[in-house]
Amino acid sequence: MKVGVISDIHGNDIALRAVLADMPTVDGLVCAGDVVGYNPGHAACVEAIRSPETGPVADSAAALLDGTVPTVQGNHDRAVATGRAPGFNHMAEAGVEHAREQLDDDQLAWLDELPEERHVCDGRVKIVHGHPDDPDHYTRPDEFGPELLDGEEVLIMGHTHIQHHEVYDVGVVMNPGSVGQPRDRDPKAAYAVVDLDERTVEERRVDYDTDAVIRAVEDAGLPRQIGFRLTQGR
């Protein structure tokens, strides 16, 4: 069974469409959180994940697990849902304010109701945003280890925007990287495909129109650095 893994879309609907168009045929698609924030396409990204039977998910090779894209709540999802963003910098705060203005009550409620942890594929896969014990912890590659696994075959994390995976005797620990705002010095949108039967991970990158996102950021009146950083992968 192959599962497409995305995370940290951050309102970048242009990058999300590029990722879904590039994705090979998979048996399911999951998301490790932060659908919104920073970039201005919050509503388009929420609808793509919340209502995947139409739009870019339906147009891609991505299949659905029980008719949905199983998704966990990221810190930006929570901040947009609640209107509280402690510790956020000015770019992150601007993204939260813009998202709250753009999203309707149903979309905000969907973000608010996302769980911090999900198990899919009959318990073989566990999805969190930051860390199994702390959704806000940045679990960087040097912290990966088999001790993070708790019976599942694959642990999926996001939050750091750094693409990485490790395969251990007991299972796989992975971060697919960020669709909408990579921070590993590679500006290409990041995602991954995990083969549960082979216990392998294919890390994938895809080009997309960063200039179009920069224009959208400027048109929305958001800080210009939100768009410019996309060209540098940071």
At 105, the amino acid letter reads: D
Domain residues of the chain, as ranges?
Answer: 2-231
pTM above 0.75? Answer: yes
How confident is the model at residue 77, as a pLDDT?
98
How confident is the model at residue 45, as a pLDDT?
98
Q: What is the pLDDT of residues 144-197, one digit of tens each?
A: 999 999 999 999 999 999 999 999 999 999 999 999 999 999 999 999 999 999
**Strand, coil or helix: 15:** helix
How confident is the model at residue 147, as a pLDDT?
98
- What is the maximum span of the chain, computed from C-alpha positions, in angstroms? 50
Residues of the chain with pLDDT under 70: none
Q: Which fold has domain 2-231?
A: Purple Acid Phosphatase; chain A, domain 2 (3.60.21)
Q: How far apart, in whole angstroms, are the C-alpha atoms of residue 10 and residue 54?
A: 20
Q: Which residues touch 151 (CB under 8 Å, ≥6 apart)?
A: 123
How confident is the model at residue 234, as a pLDDT?
86
Q: 178-209 as b/e, with b when 16 or more CB fall inside 10 Å? A: bbbbbbbeebbbbbbbbbbeeeebebbbbebe
CB 64 within 8 A of CB 52: yes
Q: Which tokens is 91 given?
A: 């770019």
Q: Which residue has the tokens 């199983």?
A: 70
Give alpha helix (H) positions in 68-209.
Answer: 75-82, 90-102, 105-113
